[in-house]
Structure 1
Amino acid sequence: MYIYICIVLFVTILPIDWTLDLKSKYHSSIEYSYGNIKPFNDLLLGRTGSVKEIILNIIMTIPFGFLYSFLKQHITLIKIIKSIFLFSLSIELIQLLMTIFLLNHRSFDVTDLITNTIGGILGYYI
C-alpha cells in the first residue's frame, strides 16, 4: 500500500517546476487557473484528452480500493468511499497549493475527485 501511495503521489504531484520564472508564467499565452469546480466540464466542452483522463483517474485508484479493503478486512463501502475521497481530496489540495505558490502547473479538478472515488469503489468490489 505504501509503494502504491508513493507511485500515485509521484505521478500526480511531480514534476515540480522549480524555475519560478515569474515573468514567463504571467506573460505567456497559456491561461493559468486554480481549478475546475464544474463536474465533467472538460468532457462537456469536448476538450481533447478528457475521456482518457477520466479513464486514467479511475484506473489509478482501483488499487487503492482493493488494497485498502484487503488490509482492513471488515471495512464497509461507506468507509472506502470516505477514504478514497479524502485521499483524492488531499492530492487535489496539494496540486492547488502548488499552483497558487507557482511551483507547478497542476490544478484542482472536481472531476478527478469523482472519478478517483469511482475507481476506489471498483477496487473495493474487485
Structure 2
Amino acid sequence: MSQNSLGNAMLHAKCPKCRTGNMFNVPVYSFRKLSEVRHHCDHCGANLHPEPDFYYGALYISYAFSVALFVNVMIILNIFFNDPDLWVYIVTVVVANVILLPFMQRYSKVLYLYGLGKLKYNPNQS
C-alpha cells in the first residue's frame, strides 16, 4: 500500500486533500481534546472545518459504530459463552464502549470528512 493511498490516509487520520498533514492535534488515546479536529491542515493549509458545526453529522456514524459493537458483543457472548447472565452482557458492552470510544469518535469524524467534506485529493499538494 503506498504512503498516500486512500486507505492508509484514512487509517492514519490524514488530511483528505494532501494525505500528509494530520487531522488531529493529539494521539488517539490522549483523552485531553480527544476529538478536536484541526481547523486547517498543517501541511497544505486545507480547511478541515468546511462549515460551522460540520462534525455533528459524524454523531450518526459514531452511533452506527456503537450499535455494531453492541451487536457483535452480543453475538460473541451467545456463541462462545453459551448465553451468560444479563449482567455479563451489560458489563461487557459498557467496557468495550469505553475502551473503543476514542477510536469510534475519531474515525467517525475521519469518515464523515472524507465522505462529505468535498476535499478532493491533489497529488501536487504532497
Compute the TM-score of the two structures, normalised by the length of structure 2: 0.37
**In proportion to residue count, which structure has more helix?**
1
Compute the TM-score of the two structures, normalised by the length of structure 1: 0.37
Which has the higher relative contact order, 1 or 2, with Cα contacts under 8 A spaced 6 or more apart?
A: 1
Structure with higher Rg: it is: 2
